[in-house]
A and B are shown apart, each in its own frame.
Chain A
Amino acid sequence: MRPTGDRWIVLWVMTRVAAIAMAVALLIAHRVTAFDAALGWFVVTYGGLSILAVMRAPRLVRRPGAWLLDCVVGLVLIWISGDWRSPFYLFALTALAPPVAMLPYRQAVASGAAFTLAFIGVALLTGLDPWTLKSTVSLETLATHLALPGVVTFGLAYAADVMRRLEAEQERAQELAVEAERRRIAWELHDSAKQRLHAAHLVLSSLEPSDVLELALEQLRGATADMETSIAELRSPLEGRPLSAALRDRAAELAALEGGVSVAVEGEAPRLPTVAASHAYRILAEAMTNAVRHAGAREVRVTLATAADGGLHAIVADDGRGLPSHIRPGANGIRTMRSRAFAIGGRLTIGSGSDPGTRVRLDVPSPTREGVPA
């Protein structure tokens, strides 16, 4: 599927070409001003250049400066033509299409309204006198001219909004599908391949010992260990959610489980490779759990931010008892947190925060800078 940006550009180019053709046809059919030829050449040149510019650099379609310039040129053309029922009206209207298609719904509607107001201004400058509109035809023409920007705005903004939602939905569905597939592969490795390795190892180990046999057993043990690593990597705790959303869910779960504890997650985490995000999640979730379960904290605050290099900068601070004076020898939790941080090239600092309390700080570099495999 082509990105929707391209479709908007194609649509815009087509309407603009049609508007230019109509303007030129009207200029030829009716004498509008004393300098019709110059106006005609200008609209063809400017319109053609604007189309070329957008085709060469499609991101121009997203530049508010370009939108404004284009709208102003369109309205000025109407003003120069000397009549609000101008051959350039449709041309000016095409300038409204990019902003209303790109902007969020509310802003798009605001832009449409601003365009209509600007057009009323131009119309008043070019001989529109609302009190002397004589015929029904004139009134109807005015109504059409005022309503068209609204119709264009609502139509395009609605369509664009629906398409944006659809794209987000598709992206999410894709992430979920990838996640499900990873889990399925992990399960298959665990359920089938690893069991076969165990069986082979067991059968071989029952034979008369020899150097060659020991070599084979060694290889089998290595393969099992490799598979173990792959399974751990394939299993992501995020289940397709962004890191910050997963942490928020965990915080709510923890607060509900413990009762009387406030666990807040603030800020957003940058996008990290799945493996890095999984480890970061487990480290931060463990820090949250420790604060609530072992340090007796009443308030835990997790702050997520994007570091200067685009990596993750996260802090878990609590008001609990702080770290015990010596870490229990069996305290696997902190050791695992450190080894996870090490595995993704991150830095973990665990220290005393505001007295009393603990402050856990995790920095994970951006994958592009540090070469962490994505």
Chain B
Amino acid sequence: MELDSLYQEVILDHYKHPLNKGLSDNYGAQVHHVNPSCGDEITLNVTAVDGKITAITWDGVGCSISQASVSIASDLLVDKSFAEADAILNEFTELMQSKGTKEGNPDVLEDAVALAGVSKFPARIKCALLGWMAFKDAAVRINTTTGGE
């Protein structure tokens, strides 16, 4: 059924056993993002050293898509430079806006390709993007305060 393309096993696994959930005591930037139409909320900490992301931790409440997506992002974007993370984020955003026409490149997106099915459900795209947009916001804050370092 169509629903199975949305709720891939990988997504339900991340939802039940989320990675990097629990906020770190120290961070370079902390952001709080909400999804006003459904009440999903997330707080996300990003830490960076010498322009490289060293830790992403988060806490929040939300549906399986939003929670799995932030779990995946928090794993995928760590140990990347901000430029690399930005490229991955752009590829993920494109995938979400593809209306089901793209599968996503697993070499770049890894587990995040499992979210490809979300693009066929317009109401859920913002769920999948919640954690990624929070990361983007945190990255901007870190780079504004440190000039990229």
**Are the chains A and B members of one assembly?**
no
Footprint of A on B, CB under 8 Å?
A: none
